[in-house]
Amino acid sequence: MVTHITKATSLSPERLKQVLQSAGRMDARNSCTMLPNRIVALLFYEASTRTRLSFESATKRLGGNTLTMSEAKQFSSAAKGETLEDTVRVISGYADCIVLRHGSAGAAERAASVSQVPLINAGDGNNEHPTQAYLDIFTILKAYGQKRFTSEGIKILFWGDNENSRTVRSLAKLLVSHGPALGIQIRSIEFFGPNGFGVPPGDVSEALAGACNLMLHTKPPRLEDVDVVYVTRPQRERHQSGKKLEVVPFTLQLAHQLPRRAIIMHPLPRTDELPMEVDGDPRAWYFTQSDHGLLVRMALIWHLLQK
Ligand code: NCD
């Protein structure tokens, strides 16, 4: 049976554990022949830097090849009115795996329903971004490995546009459903963002409510005992016109209020919500986090495509 990754929980905890263990053994600097001649199609209808290039690099590092359509909205047959389903069905005859980024929530499920090969959701509208959640979890596990966190359980604070961020949805849901099986104990998950944008969508709150301590803050909360701050940019391209979002930046002054063990994460790209002055702080882990994207995507492609 073909495995599709449309949401973060598409992989069972056991399978995700295997992928993350493999990611720890991947070599980001040298190419190998783990997947010779396998072809991964990158079908991107929305802007991307990290996700597309890390999938491309991951495939090539494994010895495979890529087919890239990076401005699919403009240059694929979508411009002639072709449906996503038809495009994906056709490409699944040309490649061994399809990585899809699309502007509509639910696009990945639709595409997976017609794909003959594994389909990986690289972000569908404001819905999910599973591989970002995998590399985020891998990063949190690295912090455990460095003995920054203990088994007492971590407090995670989502800071920013939690209402519209697909990375927040995927990570928050994955943390409560798979975290304990992966060795991540959660003390509480908290949310803060300006003008009501900090409140996560109903399905996220519901998933978290029974599973962990959940707190929604309307003012910046105390930071003294926070282990992970996950900052996100205002998702302006998804905002309804008329709803105004002011940014509350996570400044160096705020970073200094965190315990020394804490890590600051951000899926990137950042705008004005995370000033560059924070980059030199030892708690700034966002570039390490983006480096992990390559390792985790190598491992995922390998798990899905090995014979
Ligand atoms: C994120 C995305 O596309 O959702 N970017 C990424 O893939 N790292 C975050 C964002 O765009 O804000």
d(CA 134, CA 115): 22
Q: Whose CA is nearest to atom 3 of ligand 1?
A: 123
Catalogue the active-site residues. 50-51, 80, 101, 129
The predicted structure's pLDDT at residue 210 = 87
Q: Whose CA is nearest to atom 11 of ligand 1?
A: 269
- For residue 297 and ligand 1, the question of a CB distance below 6 A is answered with no
pTM of the entire predicted model: 0.97
- For residue 166 and ligand 1, the question of a CB distance below 6 A is answered with yes
d(CA 196, CA 178): 28
The predicted structure's pLDDT at residue 120 = 98
The predicted structure's pLDDT at residue 242 = 66
- Give me ligand 1 centre to Cα 116, in Å: 27
The predicted structure's pLDDT at residue 109 = 98
The predicted structure's pLDDT at residue 40 = 98
- For residue 268 and ligand 1, the question of a CB distance below 6 A is answered with yes
d(CA 14, CA 3): 14
How is residue 128 annotated by DSSP?
Answer: B
- For residue 132 and ligand 1, the question of a CB distance below 6 A is answered with yes
Average pLDDT per run of 10 along the chain, which is 307 residues long? 96 98 96 94 96 98 95 85 96 98 98 98 98 98 95 95 97 98 96 92 95 95 98 91 82 98 98 97 98 98 93
CA neighbor of 239 nearest in space, from 183, 160, 174 = 160
Residue 69 bridge partners (DSSP): 43
Q: What is the 3-state secondary structure (H, E, C) of 295-307?
A: HHHHHHHHHHHCC
Distances (CA, A) of 71 to 38, 43, 152: 23, 8, 46
Distances (CA, A) of 40 to 31, 59, 92, 98: 16, 7, 10, 6
Closest atom, ligand 1, to C-alpha of 267: 8
